[in-house]
Structure 1
């Protein structure tokens, strides 16, 4: 049955609408604007981070490449174990926070490359690493091309953490989004469709890579000192127009929990997928 559906081309069609809507916006600059809030929001995900890092085949002799590393949620703890970490991200703002986070832990065994993964050249910008990882960072238009490069960059194995089903949008937030923007919620940066693990897995299958998949339950908890702080941070992260702040405030007032002396909590339960394969099975 292989070949009846071209999964990579199907995904391109799914995300094209969002790319047209985004127009000529520079995605690196967009992430620069969100870097401060992103850094703040990811620092509280210790349990999830520890579980992901523990899943990786790390030791003091290995080298790791993190594609779309962001502010270093995974790269920083990995650098405490591995010999060397190379991080790739298109956003200077994200990498600035990553560098601060590395310095705060006294780490210097890393190299930061500010480039889109699509523009990274093997043998010029990077050499193969033992382990290649990507966590919720595969928003490239040509996903097959991106995966092929990740596979070629790995000596031993590749690990991808991605969504399984709905990710950050639950039914209530979809209702909020439709009221704010008068259209269905976008799936991923800039609109369109945020594919979960099945599309990615099918693309890998068509490439002759028969990957392993583990579906995990995940809980994400965001902490805020006040409703006002939550509103301001959500406005930045979800780019909600000022005139629609009352709708956002109403939504958060209903969904924030009392943290029993630890401010207000926004709790969301989701499922995620870890997809991985040893290089020997994909060569």
Structure 2
């Protein structure tokens, strides 16, 4: 007797599959790692990729609607939203990212916009935190955003948290083909096999299983990796090879790849064109933030930034181009 068909697409527990995938991955960097990376991230007026403009265009946020930007990073979305007069909850777990965001928000207060004091509530908070503890409650904003920032082992819980806080609309982006922190062409050049992970498909299937049918669009984004020295570049790419090896390669392949790394760096790391070379266009940090209408979070204090965003001296010869899947849905 023929076995009955079991349609894997509609019977698979996609969140469990996502969790198994995260075990193979090294997981998102901790807050300290994002703090160190913060000075290399683009700001609201420093990014030249067009990603933020396209995201906001697709988001379709209406005049004066309130917005939560989860995993806000340096404020690439939060700052222009505040400039446009939207009340914003900007949340991230990285103090370094939030410091840079708050510098920009403070500068808005001295502008001629009306009102002169932007309504930005900054919260130091992660995806795993109890959001209600920070005053982020059900239907507390009109629109909830998570731009390139859903880095968590429980994807369904993250999506449902965003859905719960939004009254009208939710907008997210996830990678179409692998992690934004990995240079897949470099890995292939060094003999490391790779395969796309299609993160956005997990989100789409999880949402569909919960009765949500999101619209989908695609946003290309390009970046250089930039460095102060060859040693910094070497350490960066060596760590990338070692961290992705568990998912893609054998020990022998990793050993061979590391033996070829210096030659690859010599061919592919060049001097920046000028001191005006913009910071890398990178993925926003995974979630965090803090309370009240304030430019400084309550609770955990944030350390003062030690230096201005100095231009890097070296960069990769070629840009890495990623495509992000934009998923959005309106609340019923």
Q: TM-score normalised by the shorter chain: which range applies?
A: 0.7 to 0.9
- Quote the residue 1:148 is aligned against: 160
- Quote the residue 1:274 is aligned against: 326
- Which of the numbers 64, 69, 72 marks the counterpart of 1:61? 64
- Quote the residue 2:15 is aligned against: 8
Does 2:103 correspond to 1:100? Answer: yes
The 8 Å contact of residues 108 and 118 in structure 2, kept in 1 or not, is answered as no
The 8 Å contact of residues 129 and 154 in structure 1, kept in 2 or not, is answered as yes
Aligned CA distance change for structure 1 residues 123 and 208 (closer, same or farther; 3 Å): farther
Q: 1:36 aligns to what SS in structure 2?
A: helix
Offset of residue 78 of structure 1: 1.5
Offset of residue 270 of structure 1: 2.7
- Quote the residue 2:186 is aligned against: 173
Partner Cα separation in structure 1 for residue 125 and residue 24 of structure 2:
24
How many residues align structurally? 260
Aligned CA distance change for structure 1 residues 156 and 32 (closer, same or farther; 3 Å): same
Aligned CA distance change for structure 1 residues 246 and 87 (closer, same or farther; 3 Å): farther
Alignment of 1:202-221 (within 5 A): 202-216=205-219, 218-221=220-223
Select the structure with the greater relative contact order (CA < 8 A; seq sep ≥ 6): 2
Offset of residue 221 of structure 1: 3.7
Q: 1:201 aligns to what SS in structure 2?
A: helix
Offset of residue 92 of structure 1: 1.0
Q: 1:157 aligns to what SS in structure 2?
A: strand
The 8 Å contact of residues 44 and 79 in structure 2, kept in 1 or not, is answered as no
Moved more, 253-262 or 147-156: 253-262
Higher strand share: 1
Q: Report the TM-score when normalising by structure 1.
A: 0.76
Q: 2:104 aligns to what SS in structure 1?
A: helix
- Which of the numbers 86, 91, 96 marks the counterpart of 2:94? 91
Structure 2 unmatched runs, 5+: 1-6, 110-116, 241-257, 278-314
- Which of the numbers 108, 114, 117 marks the counterpart of 2:124? 114
Offset of residue 258 of structure 1: 8.2
Q: Cα RMSD (Å) of the superposition?
A: 3.6
Aligned CA distance change for structure 1 residues 118 and 219 (closer, same or farther; 3 Å): closer
- Quote the residue 2:261 is aligned against: 247
Alignment of 1:21-100 (within 5 A): 27-39=30-42, 43-100=46-103
Does 2:25 correspond to 1:18? Answer: yes
The 8 Å contact of residues 63 and 82 in structure 1, kept in 2 or not, is answered as no
Does 2:231 correspond to 1:229? Answer: no
The 8 Å contact of residues 219 and 269 in structure 1, kept in 2 or not, is answered as yes
Partner Cα separation in structure 1 for residue 275 and residue 134 of structure 2:
52
User: For each residue in 1:55-81, what CA deviation from the matched residue of structure 2 results, as whole angstroms up to 9, or x when unmatched?
Assistant: 222244210001111111111111112
Q: 2:89 aligns to what SS in structure 1?
A: strand
Partner Cα separation in structure 1 for residue 105 and residue 231 of structure 2:
27
Partner Cα separation in structure 2 for residue 54 and residue 112 of structure 1:
24
Q: 1:122 aligns to what SS in structure 2?
A: helix
Partner Cα separation in structure 2 for residue 159 and residue 14 of structure 1:
23
Of the two, which has the highest radius of gyration? 2
Q: Report the TM-score when normalising by structure 2.
A: 0.66
User: For each residue in 1:208-239, what CA deviation from the matched residue of structure 2 results, as whole angstroms up to 9, or x when unmatched?
Assistant: 111111123x1414386xxx637466568667
